[in-house]
Amino acid sequence: MSEPEPSLIQQRIALQRSRGWAVYGTVGPLVGLGFAVALVFVGNLPWLFAVAGLVFIASAVVSAFRLRDARRDIREFEERYGADAGERN
């Protein structure tokens, strides 16, 4: 027996959740990058903070691609079911 397809509300919630995590995953590392750059200039181990900055940049780039994919999925969902499909009133 197969699982029933989730309702439109559940589908929209899942899409919005993935978009929200992608935004969080993009903004968070950029804040960390700001701290890493500041610590490069005032810290005792500038090379360590430079490496941390590179990790933050890589994480932000990956999350930016996830954000792009999440927005594309939401756009496809709205084209398929309508702009108000799955909206909670």
pLDDT digits (tens, 9 = 90+) for 35-87: 999 988 888 888 898 999 999 999 999 999 999 999 999 999 999 998 888 88
pTM for the complete prediction? 0.83
Determine, yes or no, domain membership for 27. yes
Give a yes or no: residue 12 inside a domain.
Answer: no
State whether residue 54 is helix, strand or coil: helix
| Region 2-13 average pLDDT | 89
**8 A C-beta contact, residue 74 and residue 16:** yes
Could you tell me which of 77, 61, 75 has the C-alpha nearest to residue 22?
61
What is the radius of gyration, based on Cα positions, of the chain? 19
Confidence band of 14 (pLDDT split at 50, 70, 90) = very high
- Residue for token digits 């969902």? 77
For residue 62, give its domain range.
23-81
72 within domain boundaries? yes
Domain count, the chain: 1
Distance CA 4, CA 24 (A): 31
